Amino acid sequence: MLKVSASPSFNRVAKKIHARDKKILDEAIKAILQNPQLGDEKKGDLAGVFVYKFKLNGQETLLAYELQPHKSAPTEALLLAVGPHENFYAGLKR
């Protein structure tokens, strides 16, 4: 199983999520840990970043993560960001 770590920006957003919604987020993280290639790998500026889509309160939510040290043999999943699609990729590039 992969080790999980989170970026400060992920922690800032995850801290504000309601307790019942946090359970759904935890399920999404568990799904990623069981199958690290589950998310869609991005190209271009976001090469190496995977994005997993799931429903949170009926709204599509995106979870961005990187596999480290390498995507073919990962030992750690670094959670980068979580949120709705609106401005998600623009914030992720920053």
Query: Per-residue pLDDT for the chain (94 aa), expressed as one digit of tens each?
Result: 789 999 999 999 999 999 999 999 999 999 999 999 899 999 999 999 999 999 998 999 999 999 999 888 899 999 999 999 999 998 888 7
Question: 66 lies in which domain range?
Answer: 3-93
Considering its fold, how many domains does the chain have in total? 1
pTM, 2 dp: 0.92
CATH number at residue 55: 3.30.2310.20
What is the reported pLDDT for 12?
95
User: Phi-psi category of 63—alpha, beta or left, where left has phi over 0 and alpha has psi -120 to 50?
Assistant: beta
What is the reported pLDDT for 72?
87
Residue that is written with structure tokens 């401005």 in the block: 87
